[in-house]
Amino acid sequence: MANISFDLVSPEKLLFNDKVGMIIVPGKDGDLGILPGHSKVISTLRPGRVMIYGEDKNLLKSFFVSGGFAEINPEKCIVLAENVDELSYLEKSLVEKEIQQLESQNEMKTNEQLLIAKAKLDAINFTFYNTI
């Protein structure tokens, strides 16, 4: 089976670095499914889920990213993201609380954070892409 090496990097550390079968990243204009041999692309990301699949298309890991960049070439995919959380460690109640807090402040500054928090909640709730 063909595989593609995938790096998920945050400013603090390298979170994932292995050969995988497929990755789905949340591109700015729509989700990108990346298979080995993908054409060369540099894309910005919107807040959303980064899903990592093994060679037999089983879900290995899923992360939430708050935005960032992806650089893709046929052998390698690199995702640079600022805030990365592994989805299984996120608590729904905490995120809901965060949203409530941000909504009550309702300032220009928190607007962006609110969008990210909402996307985070969506990412927890959504189950599509879990099996492909």
The interface with another protein within residues 53-82 (CB under 8 A) comprises 67, 69, 71, 78, 80, 82
∠ Cα 115 45 89 (to 5°)? 65
**Token pair 């650089």: residue:** 71
Residue 78 Cβ vs another protein, minimum distance, rounded to whole Å = 6
Contact indicator for 4, 19 with CB cutoff of 8 Å: yes
Residue 76 Cβ vs another protein, minimum distance, rounded to whole Å = 11
Residue 68 Cβ vs another protein, minimum distance, rounded to whole Å = 8
Rg (CA), the chain: 15
For binding to another protein (CB under 8 A), which residues are involved?
7, 9-14, 27-29, 32, 39-44, 67, 69, 71, 78, 80, 82
